[in-house]
Amino acid sequence: MNRAEPYTVSPAGRRILDKVMAHVRMVSPAGLGHWSPAWELVHEPGDRFLDAFRLWEEEDSPGTRNALQKAAGAFVAAWRDAARQWEAQGRPGTREEVAA
């Protein structure tokens, strides 16, 4: 799948993305995104989630739903693991946010 091409998400797809991202936010403490290894840890699970999502959007079937559910769970778990590693290392890369 070419992610460079424009892509319109269906309303049902938007609901799924919103739900998965809400789970990611729940397991990801503020500041984690400033730690570059987090992005390396979630890159592959994120790609697998996006691939499963696009396949599900193309054909909603029990198989694609199951694959999407597993990929979403692995993506959230990757963020949870990144958060644990970040915490274990003393939250490196944390910076204070300043109002502009």
In a domain, 77, yes or no: yes
- Host domain of residue 80: 49-90
Rounded to whole angstroms, how far apart are CA atoms 61 and 11?
A: 17
In a domain, 39, yes or no: no
pTM value is 0.86
CB-based contact 53:67 (threshold 8 Å):
no
The pLDDT tens digits of the residues spanning 15-41 come to 999 999 999 999 999 999 999 999 999
In a domain, 5, yes or no: no
In a domain, 19, yes or no: no
In a domain, 30, yes or no: no
Per-residue tokens: 73: 């769970």
In a domain, 59, yes or no: yes
What pLDDT shows up at residue 93? 81
In a domain, 98, yes or no: no
In a domain, 61, yes or no: yes
What total of structural domains would you count in the chain?
A: 1
